[in-house]
Chains A and B, each alone.
Chain A
Amino acid sequence: MSELTLTVMRLGFLAVLWLFVIVAVQVIRSDLFGTRVTQRGSRREAPRAQQPARGASAPPQQRQQSGRQRRGAPTKLVVSEGSLTGTTVALQGQTITLGRAHDSTIVLDDDYASSRHARIYPDRDGQWIVEDLGSTNGTYLDRTRLTTPTPIPLGAPIRIGKTVIELRK
């Protein structure tokens, strides 16, 4: 066997061995990151959006944000406290439901949250509104407990149980 072949095989073997080690380390990477983000396609979502039973009232007319985006409008929702800390959701005109129910947009793993706790949605002008859905412990904007749908100022903390979320640019 020629010297060249053997050298290639020797280096190839080392490369494969290390590749295995790297793949193995990639597999355990999930130990470090506790949350999983799943993109749901539009096709699966379409029939679901038509179920009015999900909220107390039918969600307001949603529209694509194109052309409607105002200056200073928030672009993402950030969880700043609680077990999901660090999670962000892009705001793209969709209604965000929060609660312990498994079909919520943000599933809160929080003993003090209700199954369907609150929802956040944009109104006709693109202003984001938070509405409490009759939760047990209430939803707080800053320090005040919500009784009606309320516009969310940028950066104001919304507290649900032990979880705090806010809207950011």
Chain B
Amino acid sequence: MSVVTNTTTIGAIDAPSRRNTELALLAFAVAIPVFAYLNVGLALDGKVPSGMLGYGLGLGLMAGVAHLVVRKFAKYADPLLLPLATLLNGLGLVLIWRLDQSPRLIQRAERLFHSHSADAPKQLMFSAIGIALFVAVLIVLKDHRVLQRYTYISMVLALILLILPMFFPAVNGAKIWIKLGPFTVQPGEFAKIIIAVFFSGYLMVKRDALALASRRFMGLYLPRGRDLGPILAVWVMSILVLVFETDLGTSLLFFGLFVVMLYVATERTSWIVFGLLMSAAGAVGVASFEPHVQQRVEFWLDPFAEATLQQSDQAAQALMSFGSGGVLGTGLGQGNSDLIGFAANSDFILSTVGEEFGLAGMMAFLIVYGLIVERGVRTALAARDPFGKLLAIGLSGAFAIQVFVVAGGVMGLIPLTGMTMPFVAYGGSSVLANWALIGILIRISDTARRPAPAPAPSPDAELTQVVRP
């Protein structure tokens, strides 16, 4: 026998678990924020910031725990979701810490509230709780199909969460918070996950009726009247949210999510057309008589007008900060995005990104968000059960719509709405809800990528199908 060299084996790909890829990327995703932290410290004080070791260790520890839990409980999960979310969360912490140092914001806080408290430690705590929630989701939720049992319960729960803020006083003109003792919670953030569960459970059962029982009219499939019921109900609900809570973002998020999921479930373009028409009609209708919304539209149309600047120069300052950032940015800690004042580290945090990282950094940020959405859609494609498919699409769709609504609002593409940029912006509810969302996506992707049960022990015993001429 001669020794054979260079033999090649070719087989269909078997899914590797890719946990080591995840670990390497995770280390990278922790290193970048630490570098940014150092950068901020050097730019602001000219010395290495004292909290750097603690901050880096804290972030690294949280990421490490999350990784170990994924390794143990979701071995075949997507390798990218966790590092991407960690990177965004870490950079968000750095940006919030950077804005905490801003003399302008400190002065402003002391003038208005007679005290200034740093937000970064609180956000670090929220991130830790968020990762704990992520871990809890992975440990408790062994199979995402369990959620299917709670279809209608989640509908009721989502409705309650959406309606609840109406009974609490408005904060800054929008009623999206509820006060529980010392904490304020933004229930809309959690409602987006719960309502995605309801939509997937509902559409999984009704998709055939919605897709097939329709009449053709002018190239469009018109659904039957009774099938229009649910979409009308969701539309009315989102309009009500808009009218009573004056929260444009949440209303847009829910209606957009429903249209996306309807389209995915039924493959009918007519739903998109209907959805766009209805949301346009609703938005125009509400904007014509609701003063808060009307004001937002005016700010959007003409941010530099005298009348606008007298009331709020936020939108104008945000646009100016994008402009002063240019292509490569001013560098961390060297921008003036703190001129935005109120909500500089929550709703408007993207303008700090745009100013200090420039267009190049902004694009990288948006690509990271895009990659999270892409992994979600990819999970939906790979999922084997229809509920998991719809849920993965719903969650990544909600994530994508939220990023669009916030980024579009800050950049002046659409009227500004009171929503937070997932993971980056300051806000406990948002961080918690988004970590839970990533947890569910990781659970679905683990089920989707897990190799099918091993074939019979002896491959020779497998039956070969016989060709019958």
A contact set with B: CB distance below 8 Å: 1, 5-7, 9-14, 16-18, 20-21, 23-25, 27-28, 30-31, 34-40, 42, 45-46, 49-50, 61-64, 83-84, 87, 89-90, 92-95, 100-102, 104-107, 109, 111-116, 135-137, 161
Contact = CB atoms under 8 A, between A and B. Distances in A.
20 contacts: A1-B46, A6-B331, A6-B334, A7-B331, A10-B330, A14-B357, A18-B360, A21-B368, A21-B371, A23-B25, A24-B80, A24-B84, A28-B80, A30-B13, A42-B7, A63-B2, A87-B10, A100-B462, A105-B8, A105-B10
B11 A35 contact: yes
B459 A100 contact: yes
Interface in B202-249: none
B10 to A, nearest CB: 5
Given A13-B36, A35-B10, A49 B4 contact: yes
B332 interface: yes
Given A1-B42, A27-B79, A137-B464, A39 B8 contact: yes
B10 A64 contact: no
Interface string B319-347: 00000000011111010000000000000
B464 A10 contact: no
A14 B9 contact: no
Interface in B342-356: none
Contacts of A12: 35
B1 A49 contact: yes
Contacts of A46: 1, 3-4
A45 B4 contact: yes
Contacts of B269: none
6 smallest beta-carbon distances between A and B, as pairs: A107-B11, A10-B331, A109-B12, A42-B5, A136-B464, A17-B364
A136 B39 CA distance: 68
A83 B374 CA distance: 25
A72 B400 CA distance: 57
Nearest to A87: B10
Interface string B71-92: 0000000011001100100000
Interface of B: 1-13, 18, 21, 25, 28-29, 31-32, 35-36, 38-39, 42-43, 46, 79-80, 83-84, 87, 328-332, 334, 357-358, 360-361, 364, 367-368, 371, 374-375, 378, 459-460, 462, 464-467
Contacts of B368: 20-21, 24
A16 B7 CA distance: 39
A99 to B, nearest CB: 9
A92 B80 CA distance: 39
Nearest to B327: A14
Contacts of A104: 9
B451 to A, nearest CB: 13
A28 B449 CA distance: 13
Contacts of A114: 464
A161 to B, nearest CB: 8
B460 A14 contact: no
B42 A6 contact: yes
A106 B42 CA distance: 58
A84 B32 contact: no
B459 A101 contact: yes
Interface centre among B39, B83, B367, B464 (most CB of A within 10 A): B464
B38 to A, nearest CB: 8
Contacts of B459: 100-102, 115
A21 B43 contact: no
Contact of B460 (A21, A61, A101, A112): A101
Nearest to A44: B7
Nearest to A137: B467
A38 B12 CA distance: 11
A1 B49 CA distance: 13
A38 B7 CA distance: 9
A35 B12 contact: yes
Given A6-B334, A84-B12, A16 B35 contact: yes
Contact of A14 (B31, B87, B364): B364
Contacts of B80: 24, 27-28
B7 A18 contact: no
Interface centre among B3, B83, B334, B360 (most CB of A within 10 A): B3
Interface centre among A7, A23, A83 (most CB of B within 10 A): A23
B8 A89 contact: yes
Nearest to A58: B1
